Amino acid sequence: MLSVIGTGYLGATHAACMAELGFDVIGIDTDATKITLLSQGELPFYEPGLDDLLRKHVATGKLRFSTDFSDLAQADVHFICVGTPQRKDGNAADLTYVNAALEGTAAHAKPGSLIVGKSTVPVGTADALTARLAEINPHVELAWNPEFLREGFAVEDTLRPNRLVVGVQSARAEEQLRDVYVALLKDGVPWISADLRTAELVKVAANSFLATKISFINAMAEICDAAGGDVTVLAKAIGYDPRIGNRFLQAGIGFGGGCLPKDIRAFMARAEELGADQALEFLRDIDSINLRARARIIDVAAEYGDLKGEKVFILGAAFKPDSDDVRDSPALDIAYGISQRGARVVVNDPKAMEPAAKRFPHLEFTDDLLAGAQDAHLILHLTEWKEYRALNPADFAKVVANRVIIDGRNALDGDAWRDAGFIYRAPGRPTLTPKK
């Protein structure tokens, strides 16, 4: 039997996937509303494929949920999957939930069981937790097993990960983790065994590298804009070199979400504490290029009017497609920035309008795309849902007040919008203007 502590994005996915691998799983969370929903087989967020898995295993009883830590007493391995948000007073990670999860688990874990951290934490956290665990429950060991799942592909990434990384303090702990993942190991998933600190670092290094790729291409977009090049062709051309690769080179309004932005900031804070000044400067640049990509789009929008009192229609609120997550969403941040310039902002998103409206109640939301575009001074495409690529530009040409579209994700068919009479702008690319 396994336990999963924290049933947010990571925990709910991990719990359902471990049940799919054949384990009995108990999910623990202090949020009673969440536990009630999950116990009924209902997911509190949108993630393709996870709802089916949850329903299936709740129905068979393999997967149960509880608010009571004592329910994990029979589990052999406990996975800590709670959040580590950015602290309100700076860049560092808030470890309140991780510390509480360790205390709660250690108080009830049976002798010989293993506690495994999956949360993203600053290097050195597992050492501190090990010391605390020795005080509360010396017959239980701690390991670290970072998670690399992407929202929108959470089930696929958990059941078919491209690697498994474990930070362990004994051969026994490694064996216990191998037993959990035996089915994946049979499928040939690479297994990397490390010390606790390296395992913690692998996670933040991986996310920082992904963030670096995106900020690199956005810096190239800035150069293309200044020099008159096309960043999408540039990305394609450099991406053919397998040492560079073509993934994560989509220029636009940059990265957002609950992971990349806060992870690089927490890494910055830790680098500073450790005196690793060069790493700190490097990460600071990645973060600031990313935030600049958002600001630049607002400046481009302002080239087409002073925005004050004008209607701006925004396609997208989620931080990326196939997600209803609006945490640090570049799209929503830009929507807010444009509303601050006095525009009347109307937003559409296939899945994220409810959470977006909760965050920014002063913005308008509509699921009627043509009504949203009616008399709009400007359209901004900010989250690349496939629904938006399927739009017919001619329909929009008939209703807007001004035929200008800014494609913040470099994802639409610019020629099609131009042919329908629009000016098409996208970061790092020459402007397309309608043929006379």
Active site residues: 259
Closer residue to ligand UGA (CB): 140 or 352: 352
Does position 140 interact with ligand UGA (CB under 6 A)? The reply is no
Closer residue to ligand UGA (CB): 250 or 374: 250
Q: Which of 248, 282, 304, 336 binds ligand UGA (CB under 6 A)?
A: 248
Q: Which amino acid is at 302?
A: A
Does position 45 interact with ligand UGA (CB under 6 A)? The reply is no
Q: Which of 168, 210, 298, 369 binds ligand UGA (CB under 6 A)?
A: 210
What is the C-alpha to C-alpha distance for residues 327 and 245, in angstroms, rounded to an integer? Answer: 28
SS3 314: strand
Closer residue to ligand UGA (CB): 58 or 317: 317
What is the C-alpha to C-alpha distance for residues 224 and 96, in angstroms, rounded to an integer? Answer: 44
Q: Which amino acid is at 155?
A: V
Q: Which of 48, 99, 148, 195 binds ligand UGA (CB under 6 A)?
A: 148
| Terminal alpha carbon distance of the chain | 69
Does position 8 interact with ligand UGA (CB under 6 A)? The reply is no
To which H or E segment does residue 108 belong? helix 96-108
Q: Do 40 and 144 contact (CB within 8 A), yes or no?
A: no
Q: How many CB atoms lie within 10 A of CB 436?
A: 3
Closer residue to ligand UGA (CB): 296 or 403: 296
- Binding to ligand UGA (CB under 6 A) within 258-297 occurs at 259-260, 263
Does position 393 interact with ligand UGA (CB under 6 A)? The reply is no
The length of the chain, given as a count of residues: 436
Q: Which of 255, 267, 360, 388 binds ligand UGA (CB under 6 A)?
A: 255
Q: Least distance to ligand UGA from the beta carbon of 223, Å?
A: 17
Closer residue to ligand UGA (CB): 215 or 348: 215
Q: Least distance to ligand UGA from the beta carbon of 319, Å?
A: 4
SS3 194: strand
Strands (E) across 102-257 are located at 114-117, 141-144, 164-167, 191-194
Q: Least distance to ligand UGA from the beta carbon of 247, Å?
A: 7
Residues near 423 by Cβ (< 8 Å), separated by ≥ 6?
304, 403, 404, 405, 431, 432, 433, 434
Residue 31 φ/ψ, nearest 5 degrees: -85, 105
Stretch that binds ligand UGA, among 171-179, 242-250, 342-350, 367-375 (CB under 6 A): 242-250
Stretch that binds ligand UGA, among 23-31, 127-135, 248-256, 276-284 (CB under 6 A): 248-256
- Binding to ligand UGA (CB under 6 A) within 91-130 occurs at 120
Q: Least distance to ligand UGA from the beta carbon of 156, Å?
A: 12
Strands (E) across 101-184 are located at 114-117, 141-144, 164-167
Q: Which of 113, 158, 207, 410 binds ligand UGA (CB under 6 A)?
A: 207
Does position 252 interact with ligand UGA (CB under 6 A)? The reply is yes
Does position 150 interact with ligand UGA (CB under 6 A)? The reply is yes
Strands (E) across 184-294 are located at 191-194
DSSP 21-72: TT--EEEE-S-HHHHHHHHTT--SS--TTHHHHHHHHHHHTSEEEES-GGGG
Closer residue to ligand UGA (CB): 261 or 414: 261
Q: Which of 23, 46, 313, 319 binds ligand UGA (CB under 6 A)?
A: 319
Stretch that binds ligand UGA, among 81-89, 128-136, 142-150, 268-276 (CB under 6 A): 142-150
Q: Which of 272, 263, 393 is nearest to 327 (CA)?
A: 263
Which residues lie near ligand UGA (CB under 6 A)? 120, 147-151, 207, 210, 214, 248-250, 252, 254-257, 259-260, 263, 319-320
